[in-house]
């Protein structure tokens, strides 16, 4: 079973800054079936990125994903106030169980 | 646009069971898979299992095997998750989520989520 590791655990940043979040898999993710979700306090997760680099419907283009194999990155080009949240990576597509990383919290500096 | 509306918060005694519902409205649910994901306080996301009613497919995470039952009532577009032998460690928010794929197998990519149901297990 694949294990997903995210780093850093927490990032303290200011609006307008560029953010790079990392997700590393313990084994290669087939077909780059790697997704990113955003979760704000008291809300359900929201799908941001799938297929490692494709934005989900309605997601602003300041969000981008990249990577392949075992190393993946979520980049927010310019932080907006509404982007302060927890971000989870997740492997999908292969047989269950569907695994999430532990999350990276982006909070306001 | 499909919306998922979950049942309200629950408080249960240790050892009891809970059944949480998730009603889909606003669009077709045919051929989609619906999953349950939980989140303990201050913790991450954990997939529990999922169902594709049109293909009679139900899958459970090994951790919950034997303790969770996921079912569906297609006539009302409602999905259920029943968890038995509750302990304090089951205190969490439980989410239903729609699988983005209409395949015969669960794809594990979720585009629509319910609002969450808080379960508190306490004596």
pLDDT in tens, B103-117: 888 899 999 999 999
For residues A44 and A50, give the distance between their C-alpha atoms in angstroms, rounded to a whole number: 17
Cβ of A103 within 8 Å of Cβ of B116? The answer is no
B111 contacts in chain A (CB < 8 Å): 47, 56-57
Sign of CA dihedral A47, A53, A55, A61: positive
* Cis peptide bond upstream of A8, omega within 30: yes
Question: Which residues in chain B touch residue A33, judged by CB atoms under 8 angstroms apart?
Answer: 108-109
| Confidence check: pLDDT of B29 > 90 | no
Query: What's the pLDDT score for residue B31?
Result: 83
Asked if residue A102 lies in contact with residue A6, where contact means CB atoms within 8 angstroms, the answer is yes
What is the token pair recorded at B15? 């050892």
Q: What share of chain B is helix, strand, coil (3-state, %, to 5)?
A: 5, 50, 45
Mean pLDDT lowest among A31-35, A83-87, B69-73, B101-105 = B101-105
The whole-angstrom separation of Cα B12 and Cα B87 is 9
Task: Report the residue of A93, A96, A100, A105 to disrupt the B interface, i.e. the one with the largest count of B CBs within 10 Å.
Answer: A96
**Which of B45, B50, B116 minimises the CB distance to A88?**
B45
């Amino acid at each position: 079973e694949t294990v997903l590791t995210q780093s850093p655990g927490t990032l303290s940043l200011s609006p307008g800054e560029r953010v790079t979040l990392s997700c590393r898999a313990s084994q290669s993710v087939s077909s780059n079936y790697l997704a990113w979700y955003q979760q704000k306090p008291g809300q359900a997760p929201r799908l941001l990125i799938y297929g490692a680099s494709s934005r989900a419907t309605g997601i602003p283009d300041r969000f981008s994903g990249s990577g392949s194999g075992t190393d993946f990155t979520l980049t927010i080009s310019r932080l907006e106030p509404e982007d302060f949240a927890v971000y989870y990576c997740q492997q999908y597509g292969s047989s269950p169980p569907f695994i999430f990383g532990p999350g990276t919290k982006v909070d306001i500096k | 646009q499909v919306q998922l509306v979950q049942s309200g918060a629950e408080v249960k005694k240790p050892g009891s069971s809970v059944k949480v519902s998730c009603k889909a409205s606003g669009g077709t649910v045919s051929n989609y898979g619906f999953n349950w994901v939980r989140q303990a306080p201050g913790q991450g996301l954990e997939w529990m299992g999922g169902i594709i009613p049109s293909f009679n497919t139900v899958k459970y995470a090994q951790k919950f095997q034997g303790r969770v039952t996921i079912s569906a009532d297609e006539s009302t577009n409602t999905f259920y998750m029943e968890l038995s032998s509750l302990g304090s460690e089951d205190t969490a928010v439980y989410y239903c989520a729609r699988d983005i794929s209409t395949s015969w197998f669960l794809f594990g990519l979720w585009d629509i989520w319910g609002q969450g149901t808080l379960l508190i297990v306490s004596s």
